[in-house]
Amino acid sequence: MVGAHHQRHRPGDSHRPRTGGPAAPITDLRVLENTIMNVLAAAGLVCIVLVIWAFVGNYSLIMFKTGSMSPTIPQGSLALVHQIPASEISVGDIVTVDRETGRPVTHRVTEVHPQADGHALIAMKGDANPNPDPGMYRVAEVREVVWHAPGLAKGVVWLANPYVLGTITICASLLVLWAFWPRSPRIRE
């Protein structure tokens, strides 16, 4: 008996799935869709892990707007910094401290004077600057440069543009909509 879900097997019929013909492009398209969605899901997962890692480990990104640390870190570089206590600062470290004005400065440490209360007085100088920074910085913690890449700051600035962010948001929304859009059932032959 042949039911709605059964097909009669005839001698000479192949047991392999049929390839080519009109059904193949749909299958190929679905494979492409699934591959794209899996790659994007993996990228999203990596981003989530990196955000958690940055938050838990006190890591952040800074951009170099001036060339005061050239040639080591040229203008337009992007750097990954890690927050460390004053007790871990060493001469030669490149660190970011906040000035009294609130604006950060990233230069090389030239002197460290530990204080009894856990703070430190540090002197700094930009590699490209002829003179050290005026005065000393009293810090409890600093952000130490652990990695840097020339030229990446321009990309971050470009991505922060409201029009670019808006376009990315719209595209991501359309992608999510597309992923959850109901598929039409396949027509079986």
Global pTM reads 0.70
Interval 63-82: pLDDT, tens: 999 999 999 999 999 999 99
Q: Which fold has domain 60-150?
A: Umud Fragment, subunit A (2.10.109)
Residues of the chain with pLDDT under 70: 1-26, 185-189
Angle among Cα 171, 172, 173 to the nearest 5 degrees reads: 90
pLDDT score at 100: 85
Domain-wise residue ranges, the chain:
60-150
159: its two tokens: 């991505």
Whether the link from the prior residue into 185 is cis, omega within 30° of 0, is no
